[in-house]
Structure 1
Amino acid sequence: MSEAPSRAATPSTAVPPVAKKVPSPREHHGDVFVDQYEWLREKEDPEVVAHLKAENAYTEAVTAGQQPLRDAIFEEIKGRTQETDLSVPSRLGDWWYYSRTIEGQQYPVYCRVAASGAAGDVEAWTPPAVVPGEPVPGEAVLLDGNAEAAGKPFFALGGATVSRDGCLYAYSVDNAGNETFTLRIRDLRTGDHLPEVIENVFYGLEFSTDGGRLYYVVADESWRPYQIRVHVLGTPVEQDAVLYEERDVAQWTSIDLSGDRRWLLVSVGNSEYSETRYLDLDDAEARLELLLGRDERILHSAELFERDGATRVLLVHNRDAKGEAAVNSMVSTAPLAEFAKPLAEQRWTTVVAHDDAVKIEGAEVTASHLLVALRRDTIETVRFAPLAEALVAAEAGRAPSFAEPAFGEELYTAGAGVSDYRAPVARLSYTSFFTPPRVYDYVLATGELLLRKETPVLGGYDPQDYVAERAWATADDGTQVPLSVLRKASVRADGTNPALVYGYGSYEVSMDPAFAIPRLSLLDRGVVFVVAHTRGGGELGRRWYEAGKKLLKRNTFTDFVAATDWLAASGWADPTRIACMGGSAGGLLIGAALNLAPEKYAAAVAQVPFVDALTTILDPELPLSALEWEEWGNPIEDSAVYAYMKSYTPYENVRPAGYPAVAAVTSFNDTRVLYVEPAKWVQVLREATTSANPIVLKTEMDAGHGGASGRYEAWKDRAWDYAFIADALGARNLIS
């Protein structure tokens, strides 16, 4: 099916950089760990920068033979992508908003055109016929990402929002990759920027109803969003007031608007409980009010909406007002006035009851309907119900009658939302592993699905050439772990194929079915691609997540190895030709799996890998560390957590063994997983490995957690990763 594996030998002139050893003791709970490479954390030290550049030079030399394969994969990605394209316009108020991409340009151009027609008229919500590459009468450019990026080493748009009257456009830009943004405001009537420039803002921007105030989020020195500030347009930025400040270092703060855009919602919380506050944007004198506090230890999200002349609250929550648990969450509603009472006295009405087999992922309301996102049998989908009928049924103790769109695939992902509260349609997105993203408008009154776009895939792509199937691996404790097995239809289960196992398994994040053009380049080379839905993710509900966090975290790693064992025994792969890949917390998964069973893998790519987790979480001054305590436990306070994390954190558990070819890929300006973690890890891997397989570190010097900016650079990054895998597996050539 594919040629025999043949790892390219390291050129004799290429010698891996050897970092000096500077002993740095770390002592906690009576345990002393001497870290020889902690000095690499000094980002401003010229010796550190020189070392990373030497690592890049070594990586380039070792992998030089993969350049033709990288070029081929890049051209395949490019050749399948319609480079001049646009998003489906989305209506908000009196305007249609969309983005364009143009062949040869890295970044989108954000645009709008005027809308017409009554808010309740379905025809008025039919997107205008905007054609890729053709001018649109009346089109206004809000922001040209290419112009913003000109002369900059990096560009990312952090957020953007438009004032209620459509006259002002606020947006934030990152030019370093560190996810810290510069905020500017453009007057769309003149095209000019307002004089104020606000530096060092975080994600989250919202205008007041009258457009005279702008609410934004600020992060502290450890990159934790902790303040909500208010800028009054036309006043000095230095006078911006602090609307809210969160002092608990283990809490994350964010803002959002209610669907009707009347209420500013401030959310504070972590992965186990949360708090919601609200502000009436129609009242310039209003104060921020507490809706549901963290002391109740209820993990929830809230939406405020108007009904029959009164304000109501829609809650998605994991514990009700009487203290009854709902681990997979449920949906309730209550008048806003109820939340002024003590919790035990509040009366919430159940709209969607708890179900052990169905995880409620979210809910929102429009002027006419209730939308509920849910996960069932690993698959995320959406249901709709008329809001008035749902509320009446709930008050009567009955379950509302929901409509759910039907799709013909076993493995897919569907979601929905509305851009405007008054819309008679919901915008529905659909994709699967081999169905390119589709955008529908779902007519709320009738259930009709109107296809607005399927992302084109060029180069003769035929989804029938590929197969996606569900399989199950048996974990060490007997747990059945779901797998998604992807392959080209021509591949046979003859035990000769190269294969890649991919995983994440943290933060209740699910690896949902989604189409990816770059992945086709691996499949077309005969690689069987397996997604391991390990515990710690959210694929099988909240309990699946809880079974892979804190003192049960090792389940994530052993599940991944079990997935590899299933693949090796399935007939779909040659056991000697299996690689693994994961990023961020998935990089921790890769590092842990390599320590557990290095002999099971021929190659590994760890993208921005969280491989020195214990060191990071022990220091609350480092970015996000304190926020991680609800995911991994607090090793500072708890000796059992410390010992447990020490037993699996990849950097501290590298052992003498025959490690496979390893590529650690990182970014110098990453604020989520610092470059120092893979830099240290690579050093100890090289010292410990008993094999001759190359272990390389590739650092993007002008990038952040998501890698280099720009779509072409992203394609090059993916081509690099996949070429490393394909080369190690002997899967360089396309198959029929």
Structure 2
Amino acid sequence: MKKIFLIMIALSTIASFGQKQKQKQKQKQKTSVLKYPLTEKIPVTDDYFGIKVTDNYRWLEDDKSPKTMAWVKAQNVVTYGYLDLIPFRNSLKARVEKLWNYEKISAPFKEGNFTYFYKNNGLQNQSVLYRKDASGAEEIFLDPNTFSKDGTSSLGGVDFSKDGSKVAYGISVGGSDWRSVIIMDALSRKIIEDTIVDVKFSGISWKGNDGFYYSSYDKPEGSELSAKTDQHKLYFHKLGSKQKEDKVIYGLDEKRRYVSGAVSEDNKYLFISAANSTSGNELYMMDLGTKKPKLITIVTGFENDVDVIDNVDSKLYILTNLKAPNKRIVTATFKKPTPENWKDFIPETDQVLTPSIGSGYFFANYMKDAISNIKQYNYEGKLVREVELPGIGTAGGFNGKKEDKTLYYSFTNYTTPGTIYSFEPKAGTSALYQKPVLDFDGNDYESKQVFYTSKDGTKIPMIITHKKGVELNGKNPTILYGYGGFNVSLTPAFSIPNAVWLENGGVYAVPNLRGGGEYGKAWHDAGTKMQKQNVFDDFIAAAEYLIAEKYTSSDFLAIRGGSNGGLLVGATMTQRPDLMKVALPAVGVLDMLRYHTFTAGAGWGYDYGTANDSEEMFNYIYKYSPVQNVKTGAKYPATLVTTGDHDDRVVPAHSFKFAAELQAKQTGTNPTLIRIDVNAGHGAGKSVAALIQESVDIMSFTLFNMGIKELPSLKK
């Protein structure tokens, strides 16, 4: 009897095993043979300097079209159908949620008689703005989670009047850059005026307590999410008046793509920045103490960046890269503000300067190979001290009003969650203010900086992070993340999804590519226009370094980047599809022949140039533009394109067309999917729930296509 029982168990086990094998085979068939939605080709041909370029998917640029909406829905059905079959996806989500679920508190700031701070209890979709009175009594001031049921409406900036009695705050719906501005009595928390609408790319700067300056474009014809906007205007809204009565301060006659206004802390001056691109600006000022303020020129032309960062009476403190690629602070006077009258206050050094001001001091944040180094100066330009930081990483903050006695700063790196410290400027001492408590021990991991050689011999820094004791056997799942543009510096910062990646034996590598701001204007310029290929070469060389040093191999390498970094991924995967297993271009600028025809895209011309500039510029861009360089019959890596249907900065048509080209032309079984978030934009204000799901989907897709079957973190 016992023998029969054992035979039955054995047969049952064999049957069960066979069933599991059939399920695995069925799953493999479903994920390896994908049937993509049919994307209709409707050719539109453009002539660039005698070269005809056909765009088969121009119709996908119409975001209002029912046909485009149907395409989006159909693509998402295929994408989520694929993701649903990944066996560890739900377990991975549970782990990310668990790690994400810790209290996060911002540095406090004072407005009027209250101290304000942001707090998220862990998984709230949007952080809540709280305040305390002098007695320490705490209350919710603004809760963005009440703006919409699904968490897709977010707070787009909060600005208080000079005495803190009034506040104007922006609301973004569905991730769009367009804002509505609500004006409220800060004491009673009652709305006191009609909503200001159609505000875009704008801060709010109060003139006393009577009104504020803001910037926007005229509402474009056609879709507000994709139509071109290129004449920015600065307005003044006087409390008690209607928006239609708001006076244009600058931009009515002058055509500028980006205009902003900032009132000095002492309420004496208005400083106006005007630019046509994301680099270089003109600078003007007005004396607000006169009845009819006149526009006074500080700098004209767009060759350099210049900004008034503070003043003491009529003495101006100006940050600029004019004759100083790594930036310097100079002084001038209201009566003689132009460059020939400038005097060095904090001279340029061999490290890039980013200053902040608070408590009557200047804090010079220098970058040494993308690592923070803080020096404190007084208003006579004398070095007070070098601020001792908690470790090697990224420090930010040291901002405040002149009368503030205590300042705050944050510190983070790839293995240290963002931690807030208080700082006493007179004594120069730091104290721990808020340390997050989460289920991750950064001591188990290490980061190191290496310098590798790019194609033309340039040395490029890269920080590589992984679990201590990792075996360099070429089989470690690796994410290579990059940006390389717009003077943006990638400095060490903690991320929950990256922490989960590291837990699972992953390697995370971030090179500081040319085009960024890590080494000043020269480094930025070396990755722009007809030197843009340098950025792609730097990224390719980073991948080759990781492979040569056996951190990973082409079978376990994923490349990732967003926005300009999405372009980086798109160009790299079309130039070297053999180099990586997975490609993850997010909200990417991928159709380089047409990027400048959408929303404010023409303002990116400093970095890219445009296809209309010259025949030489067209030929250069055409050679690397991802949409135009997908080749029929090429074997591209497993690709997950991500975007949002409300992205009005890099319109989703870029991603739509790139995905359509890949699906139509590539060969092999590697999936090419596009994941399109609904009611989401370029990234800012995205709900925590959406951020978690997106990160889980990207990580699951990546690991699954690397052949990873079991995740160490899920054994916890």
Which residue in 1 is equivalent to 2:272? Answer: 266
Please give the alpha-carbon distance, in whole angstroms, between the structure 1 residues aligned to 2:234 and 2:101: 40
1:312–1:197 CA distance, 2 compared to 1 (3 A): same
2:314 matched to 1:311?
yes
- 1:531-610 equivalences under 5 Å are 531-610=510-589
Alpha-carbon separation, structure 2, partners of 1:13 and 1:502: 29
2:202 aligned residue? 204
CA offsets 1:531-551 (integer angstroms, 9 cap, x no match): 122111122322221111111
Pair 1:529–1:366, CA change in 2 (3 A): closer
- Following TM superposition, by how much is the alpha carbon of 1:305 offset from its aligned partner in structure 2, in angstroms? 1.5
Could you tell me which residue of structure 1 aligns to residue 43 of structure 2? 23
Q: Does the 8 Å CA contact 2:390/2:411 hold for their aligned counterparts?
A: no
- Would the aligned equivalents of 1:158 and 1:202 in 2 still touch at CA under 8 Å? no
- Report the RMSD for the aligned CA atoms in angstroms: 2.4
Provide the rounded CA distance (Å) in 2 between the counterparts of 1:364 and 1:428.
11
1:314-353 map, 5 Å: 314-319=317-322, 325-339=323-337, 343=339, 346-353=340-347
Match of 2:424 in 1: 443
The amino acid across from 2:62 in the alignment is E
- Summarize deviations over 1:45-86 as a string: whole Å, max 9, x none: 1111111111111111222222x5332233222212344443
Q: Give runs of aligned pairs for residues 466-485 of structure 1, distance below 5 A.
A: 466-485=445-464
- C-alpha change, 1:424 and 1:190, in structure 2 (3 Å) is closer
Give the match's secondary structure for 1:606. strand
8 A contact 2:356–2:397 mirrored in 1? no
TM-aligned CA distance change 1:10 to 1:559, over 3 Å: farther
445-454 vs 49-58, which deviates more?
Answer: 445-454
Return the alpha-carbon distance in structure 2 between the equivalents of residues 92 and 166 of structure 1. 5
Q: 1:550 to 1:250 in 2, by over 3 A?
A: farther
Question: In structure 2, which of residues 482, 494, 497 is the aligned counterpart of residue 518 of structure 1?
Answer: 497
Please say if 1:711 is aligned against 2:675: no
- Which of 282, 285, 296 is equivalent to 1:278? 285
Partner of 2:129: 110
1:81 is matched with which residue? 100
- TM-score, normalization by structure 1: 0.87
Which residue of 1 is the match for residue 11 of structure 2?
none
- Closer, same or farther: CA 240–405 of 1 in aligned 2, 3 Å: same
Residues 1:698 and 2:675 are matched in the alignment:
yes
Aligned-partner SS, 2:73? helix
Shift of the 471–250 alpha-carbon distance from structure 1 to 2, 3 Å rule, reads farther
Please tell me whether the aligned partners of residues 203 and 260 of structure 2 are also in contact (alpha carbons under 8 angstroms).
no
Task: Deviation per CA, 1:116-152: give whole Å up to 9, x if none.
Answer: 8xxxxxxxxxxx6xxxxxxxx2x343211111223x6
State the alpha-carbon separation in 2 of the partners of residues 288 and 663 from structure 1.
53
Judging changes above 3 Å, is the alpha-carbon distance between structure 1 residues 519 and 527 closer, same or farther for their aligned structure 2 residues? same
Aligned equivalents of 1:402, 1:25: Cα separation in 2: 63
CA shift, 1:88, in A, is 3.3
**Structure 2: distance between partners of 1:353 and 1:104:** 45
> 1:89: Cα distance to partner?
2.1
Check 1:247–1:471 CA distance in 2 against 1; reply closer, same or farther (3 A cut): farther
Distance, in Å, in 2 between the alignment partners of 1:104 and 1:175 is 20
Q: 1:170 to 1:288 in 2, by over 3 A?
A: farther
Q: Which residue in the other structure is 1:636 paired with?
A: 612
Is the Cα contact below 8 Å between 1:700 and 1:707 reproduced in 2?
A: no
Deviations 1:153-212 (A, max 9, x none): 721211211122222121111123221111111123333212311111124343544412
- The separation in 2 between residues aligned to 1:715 and 1:380, in whole angstroms, is 29
Letter in 1 for 2:368: R
Do the aligned partners of residues 497 and 96 (structure 1) sit closer, same or farther apart at CA in structure 2, a change above 3 Å counting? same
Name the % identity: 25
Question: Which residue of structure 2 lines up, in the alignment, with residue 122 of structure 1?
Answer: none
Q: Report matched runs for 1:176-191 at 5 Å.
A: 176-191=174-189
Aligned to 2:223: none
Deviates more, 1:212-221 or 1:560-569: 212-221
| Alignment equivalent of 1:424, drawn from 398, 405, 409 | 405
Among 433, 443, 448, which residue is 1:464 paired with?
Answer: 443
1:288 is displaced (CA, Å) by: 5.0
Give 1:626 shift.
Answer: 1.8
1:95 is matched with: 114
Tell me how far apart the structure 1 counterparts of residues 203 and 73 of structure 2 sit (CA, whole Å). 37
- Tell me how far 1:667 sits from its aligned partner: 0.8
2:161 matched to which residue of 1? Answer: 163
Residue 395 of structure 1: aligned partner: none
Taking structure 1 as reference, are residues 367 and 378 closer, same or farther at Cα in structure 2, changes over 3 Å only? closer
TM superposition shift of 1:249: 5.6
Structure 1 unaligned regions, length at least 5: 1-5, 117-127, 129-136, 320-324, 391-399
- Secondary structure of the structure 2 residue equivalent to 1:305: strand
2-side partners of 1:730 and 1:212: how far apart? Answer: 62
Is residue 473–residue 551 contact of structure 2 (8 Å, CA) maintained in 1?
yes
Distance 1:29 1:264, change over 3 A: same
Aligned partners of 1:17, 1:513: CA distance in 2, in Å? 40
Cross-structure match for 2:378: 386
Amino acid at match of 1:647: K
Letter in 1 for 2:321: N
* Aligned with 1:660 (options 634, 637, 644): 637
Show the counterpart of 1:234. Answer: 240
Q: Residue 84 and residue 494 in structure 1: after superposition, are their counterparts in 2 closer, same or farther (change >3 A)?
A: closer
- Conservation of the 8 A alpha-carbon contact between 1:155 and 1:174: yes
Q: Distance in 2 between matches of 1:541 and 1:429?
A: 23
Count of aligned positions: 679
Once the two structures are TM-superposed, the CA of residue 404 in structure 1 deviates from its matched residue by 1.8
Contact 2:571-2:624 at 8 Å conserved across structures: yes
Report if aligned partners of 2:307, 2:320 keep a CA contact under 8 Å in 1. yes
Alpha carbons 2:365, 2:373 under 8 Å: kept = yes
In structure 2, the partner of 1:677 is 654
Counterpart secondary structure, 2:385: coil
